[in-house]
Amino acid sequence: MSDDVSRETPSVPDVARRVFASDRMPLAVRYTELLATEGVVRGLIGPREAPRLWDRHVLNSAVLAEAIPPAASVCDIGTGAGLPGLVLAIARPDLSVTLVEPLLRRTTFLEEVVAHLDLTCVEVVRGRAEELHGQRTFDVVTSRAVAPLERLLGWSMPLVSPSGALVAMKGQSIHDEIESSRGFLREWRCGEPEVFSVGGDVLDHPATVVRVPWADPARIGWPLAPESKRRGQRRGQRAAKREVS
């Protein structure tokens, strides 16, 4: 990754040193510089966002670490420029982080940043979340301002391990989104969503998070849909055979 981009980078706020450990702070600073330079040049971050990257994006993402258990495997879907997943990997080296993003220009940036910062705990996957359904599961599936909750559940829950949870960053409308998703939550056997704030002791504006586990780890809901589809196909095939005979 080039170091030649000459643009003004945001100054480091004092609170950042309370969020990142001293040995991780240089990584956080370099990543934020890359967002403000390469990220803007490549169209991943709007120019107007560059001066407020720390407050609105980096620190806001970093405090999500409060909601992630130790040594967890984390999947960040629709990660964009690495928010919040890449920031989590910087703040929490105990985590194993997979960044899922369909756009090539974004995954190229992410791969370059991961190599530049030597983040060996991070994997970049180019694709959509649905392409991993039935193939991989994670302790935590996260996202930040990706979609309304019902759609987010459909993308995320098939990636959640039986004992894991969706842990997503949301806005103030989350309670309304939960109510409108009640049917989906019941059908997929999700547990009751929990809404809470993170970063309240360090940020002026804490981040809102929703956590959705499975209701019963032994009876997760999402495989029922494909199994029902297969049963329907088999019934249709048997009916067709009877008609032929």
- Give domain status of residue 120, yes or no: yes
Domain that holds residue 174: 68-244
Q: Which residues are annotated as a binding site for S-adenosyl-L-methionine?
A: 78, 83, 129-130, 144
Domain count, the chain: 1
- Give domain status of residue 52, yes or no: no
Q: Are 188 and 151 in contact (CB under 8 A)?
A: no
- Give domain status of residue 31, yes or no: no
Alpha helix segments (H runs only) across the chain: 16-19, 25-34, 40-41, 53, 59-62, 85-91, 104-117, 149-156, 174-180, 182-187, 224-244
How far is it, in rounded angstroms, from Cα 240 to Cα 1? 59
- Give domain status of residue 8, yes or no: no
- Give domain status of residue 10, yes or no: no
What pLDDT does 233 receive?
39
Task: Split the chain (245 residues) into runs of 10 and give each run's mean pLDDT.
Answer: 56 94 97 96 91 93 98 98 98 98 97 98 97 96 94 96 97 95 95 97 94 93 50 40 38
Q: Which residues are annotated as a binding site?
A: 78, 83, 129-130, 144
- Give domain status of residue 129, yes or no: yes
- Give domain status of residue 17, yes or no: no
What pLDDT does 50 receive?
85
Domain containing residue 96: CATH number: 3.40.50.150
What pLDDT does 1 receive?
61
- Give domain status of residue 11, yes or no: no
* Residue in 47, 49, 42 with CA at minimum distance from that of residue 105: 42
